Amino acid sequence: MARESLDLVHGTVDVLILRTLAWGPMHGYGIKTFVRDRTSGAITIESAALYQALHRLEKKKLVRAWWGQSDTNRRAKYYELTAAGKRHSQSRLDTMREYVGALMRVLEAK
C-alpha cells in the first residue's frame, strides 16, 4: 500500500476493523482473515498497519481488549467494540459510503 495516502489508508483500515468487530470479538489475525475471506482476497490488511490501528483504537476506547484462548489453544489478544466504538463505526460507515460514492461518480463519469 502506498505510504503517501496514509490518511486514507488509516481511515479505511479503521473502518474495516470496526465493521469487522461488529460481528463479534476477534483477535488480530482473525480480523485479517475475515477481511481477506470476505473480499475473496481482494483486500489484505498489512499486519503492521492492522496492529498499529488496533492499539490506536484501543487507546481511543473504541475497542477494548483482553487476553483469551485461541482455537489453537494459544494465548491470544481479543478485541471487541465498545459502545463508543459502535457509534463511531456507524458514523464512519456513513462517511465512507459518501466518500466511495463520490469517488465512483468521478471514476465512472463518461
Partner 1 sequence: MRRHRKYADVPRDDQRVQADVDDEIRFDIDMRVRDLVAQGMGADAAREQAVREFGDVDETRRYCASLDASTERAARRTAWLDDLREDILLAWRGMRRAPAFALVVLVTLAMGIGANTAIFSVVRRVLIDRLPYRDANQLLRVYAGTGPRGGSDYLTARELVDLADAPSLAGVAAFGSLGGATYYGDESTDMFSIASVTPNFFPVLGARAQVGRAIGEQDLAPDARPVVLLSDAIWQRVFGGDPRVVGRSIQLGPVSRSVIGVMPPDFESPTFTAEVWIPLDLRPFVADPVRSRTMRVLRGIARMKPDVSLDRVRSDGATISARWRDARPGSPDPVAPRVVPLRDAMVGDVGRALVAVMGAAIVVLVITCINIAGLFLARATARRRELAVRAALGAGRGRLVRQLLAESALYGIGGGALGVGLAFAAKRVLEVISAGSMPKFGEMHIDVALLVTTAIVSILCGVAFGLFPALVATRVDLKESLSESSRSSSAGASRTRGRQVLVTTQIALAMVLMIGAGLLLRSFAALVTTDLGYTADNHVLTFRVEAPPSLPRDQAARNAFFVDLLTRIRALPGVRSAAFTDISPWNGPNSVRPRIVAGSADDVDAPSAMYITATEDYFAATGTKILRGRSIRADDRPNAVPVALISDSLARRLFPAGNAIGSQILFEGGGGSSLDKWREVIGVVADVREMSSRSFMPAVYVSDWQEDPWRRPEFVVRTTGDAASIVPALRRMLREVSPRSPLLVPRTLREVMHLFIAPQELAMTLFTVFATIALALAALGVYAVMAYIVTARTREFGIRTALGAGRASVMLLVLRQGMVAAGIGCAAGLILSLAGARAIEGLIANVPAHDWITFVAAPIVLLGATLAACMIPAKVAVNVQPVEALRAE
Site for partner 1, rule CB under 8 A = 27-29, 32, 46-49, 51-52, 55-56, 58-59, 64-67, 70, 72, 74-77, 82
Taking the complex as a whole, the smallest distance from the CB of residue 24 to partner 1 amounts, in Å, to: 14
Q: Which amino acid is at 73?
A: N
Taking the complex as a whole, the smallest distance from the CB of residue 29 to partner 1 amounts, in Å, to: 4
Taking the complex as a whole, the smallest distance from the CB of residue 38 to partner 1 amounts, in Å, to: 16
Closer to partner 1 by Cβ: residue 10 or 99: 10
Closer to partner 1 by Cβ: residue 80 or 93: 80
